[in-house]
Chains A and B, each alone.
Chain A
Amino acid sequence: MIELPGFVLGLNFGADAVAAALLPVAVLGWLAALAVPSPGRRLRLASWIAGIGSLGAVAAADLLTFYVFFGIVTIAAYGLVVGDDSRKTRWAGRIYLSLALVGEMILLAALLLHLAERPGPLAGWLLVFGVGAKLGLPPLHVALAPAYERAPTRGAVAFAGPLLVTAMAGLLRFLPEIAGAPAALAPGLMLLGLFTAFAGAGLGALQERARAVLGYSSVSQMGLLLAFTGVAAAGDWLALLPALLLFAVHHGLVKPALVLGTAAAPGRAVAAAQVLLALAIAALALTGGAMAKLWVEGGVAALAEPWHGLVAALLPATSVASTLIMARFLWLARAGAVPPGPTAPPGAFLMVAAVALVVPWVLLLRWHPAPAALMLAPAHLWATLWPVFRGVTIALAVRGLRRRPRWRLPPGDVAVLLDRPIQRWLGRLGRPPRLPSLPAMASLLRRVAHIRTAEIRLRDLAATGIAYLLLLTVLLVLATGT
C-alpha cells in the first residue's frame, strides 16, 4: 500500500486480487503497443502519458485515485486515435473524446456519491456507465470501432489492450464497494451484458474492415464480461471474481495481439497465430475464453429462475455469435492488405500471441481447485466445441451463398446517423434566448446627454484621477489627525 496524502486529494495505491492480476496484463499490453514503431512525436507522447495513467488507474486502491488516473488516460488517448489529419480520423477522434468525457462525468457523479458515503444501485450504475464509455457499453459503444479502425496501429493496440484492461479493473475492483449490495444490479447487468454481447457481434459481422470488426468484437466481449459480472453480483462475488479476472486477463492479452497481428507482415506463422487467437475469442475448448465461461457456468447454476434459464440458454449462443464475428474478421484480414503505417515485427507479434494463449492456463492452474480434469471432461469439451462448430458452419454457409451483405454499416453505427442532428441541436443550444440585461437603464443614460458631455470632459482630464486620489489622501490625513 502506497499512500500519498499530499497529492491531489490523497492518492492511494495498493494491490488486491484485481490489481495483482491486471497490472501485469496492462504492462504487457503497453509493451505490445510499444513494439509498433511510432510515426510521430505526438503519438509517442500520448502513449507515455496514457501508459502512466492506465498503470496508475489499475494500481489505484480507491475510487478517487482511479478517477484521477483514468481521467489522464481519457485525455491522452485522444492523441492515440488521431494520427493523421483526414476527415474520418478527425471524426473518430471527436466521437471518442465526446463519449469518453461523458463517461468521465458519469464516473465523477459515482465518485461524488462514494465520497459522500452514499453507496447504492444508483452509484453502482453510474460506475458501470462511467467506465462503460471505454468498455463499449451501448449507447456509448459507438466510439470503439471507429477508434480501432482509424487509429495508428500503436494506438489501436493500446485501445484493445491496456485501455480496456484499465476500465475492467475499475469495474471489478470498485463495483461491490460503490454499489453497496451489488445483487440489486445483477438482473440489469445480465440483461445489458447479454444484449451487448449479441448486438456487438451482429454489428461487427456487417463491417467491411478487419479492425472495425475487432472493435465490435470488443463491444461484444465486454458485454459478456458484464453478464458474468451480473452472475457474480447475484451470487457469491468473491467465489466468482477469479473467473471474471481470468476472462479479463484472457481478453486483455488476446485482443491487442489480434490488433497487432493485422499490422504484422503476412506469413504462415502469423496467419496461424491469428486463427488461434480468433478461436480463443470464440471460446473454443481449451482456450482462456472457454475456461472463464465454464467457471462462470458454475455460478449460473446457482441463479434463481427466470435468470438461470435465460442465462444458461443464451451463454452458449454468445459463442456462436463470437465465432461468426471472428470468421468475418479472419476473412477480411486474409483479403485485406496490411493497413498503412509502420508494420509490426512478426516476431514481436508471435511472442505476444504465445503469451496471450498460455497465460490463462497458468492462472487457471494456480487459481482453480480442479482445473485440468474439469477442462478435459468430455461434457465440458463438447459444451465448448459445439457452439464454435455451429458458428463455423453458419459462416461457411453464408460464404457459400457468395452474397455480399446488401447494406453496409459504417463503423460507429448510430453515431453516424445521429451525429448531424446532435450537432444541429448543439448549435441551437449555443443560441439561448437573450436575457434582457438592463437595457432600460442603459437607454435612459443615453438620453441624458449632459452626462455624456461631462463624461467626455472628465475623460480628457488625466488629472481627474490625481485630484480624486489627492482628495482621498487629504481626507485620510485629516481623519488621522483628529
Chain B
Amino acid sequence: MSWNGAVPLTILLSSLLPGLAIFFLGEERHRTRTVLNLSGAVVKVALIGAMLIGLYQAERAFTFRLPLLPGIDFLLNIDALAMLFVSLSGGLWLLTTVYAIGYLEESPNRSRFFGFFSVCVSATVGIAMAGNLFTLFLFYELLTLSTYPLVVHRGTPAVLNAGRLYLTYTLGGGATVLGAVVWLQALVGPVEFIETGGALVGRTAGLDPRALTAIGALLLAGFAVKAAVVPLHGWLPRAMVAPAPVSALLHAVAVVKAGAFAIVRVVHDVFGAEMARDLGLTTPLAAAAATTIILGSLWALRQTDLKRRLAYSTVSQVSYIVLGTALAGPVALVGGLVHLVHQGLMKITLFFCAGNLAETLGIHDIRELRGVGRRMPWTMAAFTVAALGMMAAPPLAGFVSEVHLGLGAIEAGHPWAVPVLIVSALLNAAYFLPIVYAAWFRPPAARWPQERVLSPRLETRASLLFPPLITAAFTIFAGVLAGSIVSPLEWAQLVVDREFPP
C-alpha cells in the first residue's frame, strides 16, 4: 500500500480510532476524552490540508482499494468532489467537537455520546471518499446507525419517538439504495464513480432504459430521504429534539449533506448529466427540489420554536443543492456544490447560536427573543450574519450560491427555477428577519426564562461562543472573497471543470 493510499485511510481512522477508544473510557475521564477528541479532529484537518495542496498542485491520486469479495471492493478515492465534502465535514467537525465539549459539560453519558459522535464523522468522511456505490452504501448505513444514539441521547419519550421515526425513514432509504445497488451491479458489474462523464457511459448497450430509469429513481429516492426532500422530509423537524451539537451535525456537517452529496454522485458520476437527463431522472428531481424549497420555507414561517424553524429552513435549503444537481448544467452545479459548503457554514452558525440561547438564557421560543441582542450581542451578531446569508443578501455566502443557481437555471433552459429561488429568498427573509428584529430592535423582557451565568466575562462559555463566531466569519469570507483562490466557490468551480470538461 503506497503512501498515497494510506492518506484516505488515515483520514478515516483519525476519527474512528479515537471514537472506539472513547467508548472504553470511564465517564469521569474528562481530560483524556477531550484530548482524544480534539487530537483526532486536528489530525484530520491537518491531513485534509496536506491532501488539498497535493491534489491542487500535482493532481495526485489518493486511492485505497481493498477487495472484499469478487466484484465487490472497498474503495476509497479522493477526487475533487470528495475533497469538497471532506474539507467541509472535517473543518466543521473540529468546531462542533469544541462546541459539544462545552455544551455537554456536566451532563451524563458523555463517553457514549462522544464515541458515536466520532463514528458519525468517520461515516461522513467515508461517504465523501467512497469510490464506488458499494462503499458509499456501507458508510451511508453506518451513518444512520451511529447518529441514532446521538438523536436519542437524552432518552425522554418524545426523543425516543423522534428517534424511531428517524430510523424508520433512514433505514427504509438505505434498504431502497441497497436494492438499487444490487440490481445495477447485476446488470453492469461494479460501479465506480467517474468524475468526467459518469460511470455508466458506454456500458449500457442492450439494456432496457426503463430498468435504468427505475434503478436511478430508486437510488435517488433512497438518498433523498437523508437530504429531506419532500415527501421524505418528516424525520428532520422531529429530530430537532436532539442536543444542539447533534442538530449541527444533522443539519450542517453530516446527515442531510450525505444525502445531497450522494445525489450529486448518482446524477453526475454514475449516470452522467446527459444520461440522467435522457432517462428522465433530472426533471422530476428538479421539480421535487423546487417543491421542497418552497414548502420548507412556508412550514418554517409557521414555527414559533426556534429550532423547529431552523429545521424546516434546512429542509428548504438543502434542496438548493439538489436543485443545482438536477438542473444538470455546469453553472447550476457550481451553485449546488458551493451551497453544500455555504449552507453548512450558515446553518451550523444558526444552530450553535440557538444552542447558546437555550443553554445560557433558556430561550426556546421566538417570542422570548426580544432584546436578546443586548444580553448576548456576539451570539446574535453571528446569528444575524448567518440569517442574512440565508436570505441571499449580498455580499454573504448565500448570495454567491443564489446567483450561480439562478444563472445556471437560465443557462440550462429551466428559467422557471428563478422565481422559485426568488420566492424562497423572500420567505427566508420573512422567517429570519422577525428574529433579528426582535433581538436588536425591541426592549428586553424583565427577565429571561432560565438564565445561567456561564462565564465571568463573556456572555456565555467560551467554548460555546467562539465556534459560531468562527463560522459566521467564514460565512462573510466565503461571500466577500468568493473570487479568490481559497474560496469554496473556486473549489466548486474546479470540481465542475472536471465534471463538464470543455
Binding site for B on A (CB under 8 A): 4-10, 42, 67-69, 71-72, 75, 82, 85, 90, 97, 101-102, 105, 108-109, 111-113, 115-116, 118, 426, 429-432, 435-438, 441-442, 445, 455, 459, 462-463, 465-466, 468-470, 472-473, 476, 479-480
Q: List B428-481 residues whose CB lies under 8 Å from chain A.
A: 429-430, 433, 440-443, 479-481
Chain B residues contacting A468 (CB-CB under 8 Å) are 145
The distance in angstroms between the C-alpha atoms of A97 and B418, with both chains bound, is 22
Chain B residue at smallest Cβ distance from A94: B437
The distance in angstroms between the C-alpha atoms of A436 and B230, with both chains bound, is 10
**15 A-B contact pairs sorted by A residue (CB < 8 Å):** A6-B484, A7-B395, A7-B480, A8-B399, A8-B480, A8-B483, A72-B394, A105-B422, A108-B403, A108-B422, A109-B419, A429-B298, A437-B232, A459-B152, A469-B19
**Does B20 belong to the interface (CB within 8 Å)?**
yes
Chain B residues contacting A7 (CB-CB under 8 Å) are 395, 480-484
Chain A residues contacting B393 (CB-CB under 8 Å) are 71, 75
Chain A residues contacting B484 (CB-CB under 8 Å) are 6-7
Chain B residue at smallest Cβ distance from A435: B231
Given contacts A438-B232, A465-B23, contact A5 B483 (CB under 8 A): yes
Stretch at the interface among B108-116, B266-274, B350-358: B108-116
Chain B residue at smallest Cβ distance from A462: B112
The distance in angstroms between the C-alpha atoms of A105 and B391, with both chains bound, is 10
Chain B residues contacting A116 (CB-CB under 8 Å) are 407, 410-411
Stretch at the interface among B163-171, B239-247, B252-260: B163-171
The distance in angstroms between the C-alpha atoms of A115 and B111, with both chains bound, is 53
Ranked nearest first, the 7 interchain pairs of A and B with the lowest CB-CB distance are A437-B234, A430-B302, A71-B394, A6-B484, A68-B394, A430-B301, A116-B410
Q: Determine if B394 and A67 form an interchain contact, defined as CB atoms under 8 angstroms apart.
A: yes
The distance in angstroms between the C-alpha atoms of A85 and B440, with both chains bound, is 11
Given contacts A8-B395, A116-B410, A479-B66, contact A466 B24 (CB under 8 A): yes
Chain A residue at smallest Cβ distance from B411: A116
**Does B402 belong to the interface (CB within 8 Å)?**
yes
The distance in angstroms between the C-alpha atoms of A108 and B398, with both chains bound, is 13
The distance in angstroms between the C-alpha atoms of A445 and B170, with both chains bound, is 14
Chain A residue at smallest Cβ distance from B23: A466
Known: A109-B418, A112-B418, A459-B160. 15 other contacts (CB 8 A): A4-B483, A6-B481, A9-B482, A42-B440, A71-B393, A75-B388, A113-B410, A116-B410, A438-B168, A438-B169, A438-B234, A442-B164, A465-B149, A466-B115, A476-B66
Contact of A115 among B109, B160, B399, B403 (CB under 8 A): B403
Chain A residues contacting B66 (CB-CB under 8 Å) are 476, 479-480
CB distance from B324 to the nearest CB of A (A): 14
- The secondary-structure label for the interface of chain A is helix
Q: Determine if A441 and B483 form an interchain contact, defined as CB atoms under 8 angstroms apart.
A: no
The distance in angstroms between the C-alpha atoms of A473 and B119, with both chains bound, is 12
Contact of B429 among A9, A101, A118, A431 (CB under 8 A): A101
CB distance from A460 to the nearest CB of B (A): 10
Q: Mark B27-56, 1 if CB is under 8 A from A, else 0.
A: 000000000000000000000000000000
Chain B residue at smallest Cβ distance from A70: B394
The distance in angstroms between the C-alpha atoms of A8 and B403, with both chains bound, is 11
Range, interface on chain B: 35 or more
The distance in angstroms between the C-alpha atoms of A109 and B403, with both chains bound, is 9
Q: Determine if A105 and B426 form an interchain contact, defined as CB atoms under 8 angstroms apart.
A: yes
Q: Determine if B403 and A112 form an interchain contact, defined as CB atoms under 8 angstroms apart.
A: yes
The distance in angstroms between the C-alpha atoms of A97 and B433, with both chains bound, is 10
Given contacts A101-B426, A437-B234, contact A8 B394 (CB under 8 A): yes
Chain A residues contacting B68 (CB-CB under 8 Å) are 479
The distance in angstroms between the C-alpha atoms of A72 and B395, with both chains bound, is 8
CB distance from A227 to the nearest CB of B (A): 29
Q: Determine if B400 and A9 form an interchain contact, defined as CB atoms under 8 angstroms apart.
A: yes
Given contacts A9-B482, A430-B301, contact A442 B168 (CB under 8 A): yes
Chain B residue at smallest Cβ distance from A433: B295
Q: Determine if A115 and B407 form an interchain contact, defined as CB atoms under 8 angstroms apart.
A: yes
**Does B74 belong to the interface (CB within 8 Å)?**
yes
Q: Mark B474-502, 1 if CB is under 8 A from A, else 0.
A: 00000111111000000000000000000
Contact of B230 among A85, A118, A435, A466 (CB under 8 A): A435
CB distance from A27 to the nearest CB of B (A): 22
**Does B97 belong to the interface (CB within 8 Å)?**
no
Given contacts A102-B426, A430-B298, A445-B164, contact A108 B406 (CB under 8 A): yes
Most chain A Cβ neighbours within 10 Å, of B230, B234, B394, B433: B394
Given contacts A97-B433, A112-B418, A445-B168, contact A8 B426 (CB under 8 A): no
Q: Determine if B234 and A68 form an interchain contact, defined as CB atoms under 8 angstroms apart.
A: no
**Does B233 belong to the interface (CB within 8 Å)?**
yes
The distance in angstroms between the C-alpha atoms of A7 and B302, with both chains bound, is 36
Chain B residue at smallest Cβ distance from A101: B429
Chain A residues contacting B232 (CB-CB under 8 Å) are 437-438
Chain B residues contacting A82 (CB-CB under 8 Å) are 441
Chain B residues contacting A71 (CB-CB under 8 Å) are 393-395, 399
Q: Determine if B152 and A9 form an interchain contact, defined as CB atoms under 8 angstroms apart.
A: no
Given contacts A68-B395, A75-B393, contact A8 B482 (CB under 8 A): yes
Chain B residues contacting A463 (CB-CB under 8 Å) are 23
Q: List B187-231 residues whose CB lies under 8 Å from chain A.
A: 230-231
Chain B residue at smallest Cβ distance from A97: B433
**Does B378 belong to the interface (CB within 8 Å)?**
no
The distance in angstroms between the C-alpha atoms of A275 and B199, with both chains bound, is 77
CB distance from A475 to the nearest CB of B (A): 9
Chain A residues contacting B119 (CB-CB under 8 Å) are 465, 469
The distance in angstroms between the C-alpha atoms of A8 and B430, with both chains bound, is 25
Chain B residues contacting A455 (CB-CB under 8 Å) are 164
CB distance from B172 to the nearest CB of A (A): 7
Chain A residues contacting B425 (CB-CB under 8 Å) are 105, 108
Q: Determine if B410 and A479 form an interchain contact, defined as CB atoms under 8 angstroms apart.
A: no
The distance in angstroms between the C-alpha atoms of A8 and B394, with both chains bound, is 9
Chain A residues contacting B231 (CB-CB under 8 Å) are 435-438
CB distance from A482 to the nearest CB of B (A): 8
Q: List B129-188 residues whose CB lies under 8 Å from chain A.
A: 142, 145-146, 149, 152, 155, 160, 164-165, 168-169, 172
Q: Determine if B109 and A462 form an interchain contact, defined as CB atoms under 8 angstroms apart.
A: yes
Chain A residues contacting B233 (CB-CB under 8 Å) are 437
Q: Determine if A465 and B403 form an interchain contact, defined as CB atoms under 8 angstroms apart.
A: no
Q: Determine if A9 and B403 form an interchain contact, defined as CB atoms under 8 angstroms apart.
A: yes
Q: Determine if A85 and B441 form an interchain contact, defined as CB atoms under 8 angstroms apart.
A: yes
Chain B residue at smallest Cβ distance from A456: B160
CB distance from A458 to the nearest CB of B (A): 10
The distance in angstroms between the C-alpha atoms of A227 and B318, with both chains bound, is 44
Chain A residues contacting B74 (CB-CB under 8 Å) are 479
Chain B residue at smallest Cβ distance from A446: B164
Chain A residue at smallest Cβ distance from B24: A466
Chain A residues contacting B407 (CB-CB under 8 Å) are 112, 115-116
Chain A residues contacting B152 (CB-CB under 8 Å) are 459
Chain B residues contacting A470 (CB-CB under 8 Å) are 20
The distance in angstroms between the C-alpha atoms of A90 and B433, with both chains bound, is 13
Most chain B Cβ neighbours within 10 Å, of A90, A112, A445: A112
Chain B residues contacting A445 (CB-CB under 8 Å) are 164, 168
CB distance from A358 to the nearest CB of B (A): 37
Chain B residue at smallest Cβ distance from A445: B168
Chain B residues contacting A431 (CB-CB under 8 Å) are 302
Q: List B70-110 residues whose CB lies under 8 Å from chain A.
A: 74, 109
Contact of B172 among A4, A441, A465, A476 (CB under 8 A): A441
The distance in angstroms between the C-alpha atoms of A75 and B418, with both chains bound, is 22
Q: Determine if A465 and B116 form an interchain contact, defined as CB atoms under 8 angstroms apart.
A: yes
Most chain A Cβ neighbours within 10 Å, of B20, B172, B233, B400: B20
Chain B residue at smallest Cβ distance from A475: B68
The distance in angstroms between the C-alpha atoms of A48 and B171, with both chains bound, is 53
The distance in angstroms between the C-alpha atoms of A217 and B213, with both chains bound, is 62
The distance in angstroms between the C-alpha atoms of A431 and B406, with both chains bound, is 27
